[in-house]
Amino acid sequence: MNEVILKMTGIDKRFSGVHALKGVDFELRAGEVHALMGENGAGKSTLMKVLTGIYERTAGTVELFGKEVNFKNIAESQKAGVGIVHQELNMMNHLTVAQNMFIGREPMKNGMIDDAKMIEDSRELLARIGVSLDPSIKLGSLTVGKQQMVEIAKAISHNSRLLILDEPTAALTQPEVEELFAIMNDLRAKGIGMIYISHRMDEITRISDRVTVMRDGEYVGTVETKDTTKDEIVRMMVGRTVYTDKKEASTCDPNAPVVLEVKNLDNGRTVKNVSFTLRRGEILGFSGLMGAGRTEVARAIYGADPYNSGEVYINGKKVEIRQPHDAVRHGLCYLSEDRKRYGLMLIKPVSENTAISSMEKFTHKGWINDSELKEAADDYNKRLRTKTPSMDQLLKNLSGGNQQKVIVARWLLKDCDIFIFDEPTRGIDVGAKGEMYELMQQLADQGKSIIMISSELAEIQRLSDRVIVMCEGRITADLDIAEATQETIMHYATLREEA
């Protein structure tokens, strides 16, 4: 199956103040998984949006299945056989799973929507990718990972001959990744070509046939996956070597004061009698499979979700945190795993997104000092190397990874003492991951305390001084990093409570 089904030549795209794509070439063969890689802001998602008609290209040609095309919207590209699963979920939480999957193409019976058939068809599609869900429940009640699987099933439902997967595994557990890869291998055998965008090197080397690398909106090169190495791909992406060695020993002073203590936290369902401590300057990793309760613990501590019983102490003093405002007042901040849903104001500028939690710093006698605000926002975003033409740029025009950096800059500007990072590098490329790791370690070295929730074991091992492992809402282990091997972590992550 060597037939070229997609050929993009000299693709150029300009936005206001940004030259996003600069003469990019790309091709895809039938039955091929072609990985598209590059740092955040490199232009990967923009190139795919040009292909699917979301963006109109400034210059260049696109040939699909042997014919030149110029799609005006995503409906045209879907009709032509192109399916896409976006990095950021584009679904409606107030509708059911089935309604999300078939919106705009609902099955009809006697002039009315056939809900029974829509639910049954949705169940069959989900079963094809190994997901057992009730299609009649509201999408918003699902975890981010399950929502992602629904969107994958929706894309497959269009019987696409070309499938674009933009960070499809970012919120998936390893078993869910295995299910996805099984589906991809089945689609590959049927001659369907797939463009796979991911920053997870292990996935790229395992699932892809070829890799194309972009940098700063330009084409860098294409290599056969079997003939290259991870290090070579990383060098093509960032022009330097990125180190992610395991931390061999804790760098936190064992006698450092306890800044956060949680006692017997319980919500009756997803958090069960959770107790732990966090010391000044410590990075405490929370590991576990999806549904283990890690995010639920973080949201309860932060006041985003209620809990039935338990106590929270900050610097030895019992505190009542019933809403996020209380947490921030006590010097605790939370970077959500679902930043688009809980942290971003997409139609506001970078400056406002950065400073929204620190407005009192820039308000004098009832007036906001805009120049002072923008200067502070610019300073913190420069520290994180956020790629934006200016502080006036609307957040929606930044890549997903750069949007995330803006939220991190927000909490750095707020100067909190306790940081909760929930999946801090989700959707971030290899080079930006290295920068984030350096930043988090610098914060810890400065005496800040960090709770880091991550589904990537390599990330847990790279940063943590100590590792809390959870399973089904319970803490099953509290490990020093020296003893936290991947095998040990996974053992405790699957250690279910005996009946």
User: Which 3 state secondary structure label does DSSP give 190?
Assistant: coil
Q: In the sheet that 283-287 helps form, which strands lie side by side, from edge to edge?
A: 332-335, 418-422, 449-453, 283-287, 466-471, 474-480
What would the mean pLDDT of 255-263 be, rounded to a whole number? 97
**What pLDDT is recorded for position 342?**
63
Render pLDDT for 425-476 as a digit per residue (tens, 0 to 9). Answer: 876 666 777 778 888 998 899 999 999 999 888 889 999 999 999 998 999 9
Beta bridge partner(s), residue 367: 364
Global confidence as pTM: 0.58
pLDDT at 189 over 70: yes
**What pLDDT is recorded for position 233?**
85
- Which residue type, as a one-letter code, is found at position 198? S
Find the helix or strand (DSSP H, E) in which 368 lies: strand 367-368
Residue 499 binned pLDDT confidence (cut-offs 50, 70, 90) = very low
Contact predicate 401/377, CB 8 Å: no
**What pLDDT is recorded for position 429?**
66
Render pLDDT for 375-386 as a digit per residue (tens, 0 to 9). Answer: 999 998 888 788
Homologous superfamily in CATH for domain 4-238: P-loop containing nucleotide triphosphate hydrolases (3.40.50.300)
Homologous superfamily in CATH for domain 258-493: P-loop containing nucleotide triphosphate hydrolases (3.40.50.300)
- Which residue type, as a one-letter code, is found at position 410? R
Token pair of 349 as six digits: 């500028």
> pLDDT > 90: what percent of the chain?
55
Rounded distance between C-alpha atoms, residue 182 and residue 235, angstroms: 30
pLDDT at 187 over 50: yes
Render pLDDT for 6-32 as a digit per residue (tens, 0 to 9). Answer: 999 999 999 876 788 999 999 999 999
Render pLDDT for 362-412 as a digit per residue (tens, 0 to 9). Answer: 998 889 999 999 999 999 888 878 889 999 999 988 876 788 788 888 888
- Which residue type, as a one-letter code, is found at position 278? L
The answer for 381, left when phi > 0, alpha when psi is -120 to 50, beta otherwise, is alpha
Render pLDDT for 192-250 as a digit per residue (tens, 0 to 9). Answer: 999 999 877 888 999 999 999 998 889 999 999 999 988 788 778 766 555 567 899 99
Rounded distance between C-alpha atoms, residue 270 and residue 275, angstroms: 14
pLDDT at 96 over 60: yes
User: String of b and e for 457-467 (b: at least 16 CB within 10 Å)?
Assistant: bbbbbbbbbbb
pLDDT at 335 over 50: yes
Render pLDDT for 338-357 as a digit per residue (tens, 0 to 9). Answer: 666 666 788 899 999 999 88
Residue intervals of the chain classified under CATH 3.40.50.300 are 4-238, 258-493
* DSSP E strands, 238-316: 258-266, 274-279, 283-287, 309-314
The answer for 129, left when phi > 0, alpha when psi is -120 to 50, beta otherwise, is alpha
What would the mean pLDDT of 284-305 be, rounded to a whole number? 92
Contact predicate 252/440, CB 8 Å: no
**What pLDDT is recorded for position 112?**
93
Contact predicate 126/149, CB 8 Å: yes
Contact predicate 194/207, CB 8 Å: no
What would the mean pLDDT of 127-153 be, rounded to a whole number? 85
Find the helix or strand (DSSP H, E) in which 376 lies: helix 370-383
**What pLDDT is recorded for position 128?**
79
Helical H segments across 387-485, by residue range:
400-414, 430-445, 457-463
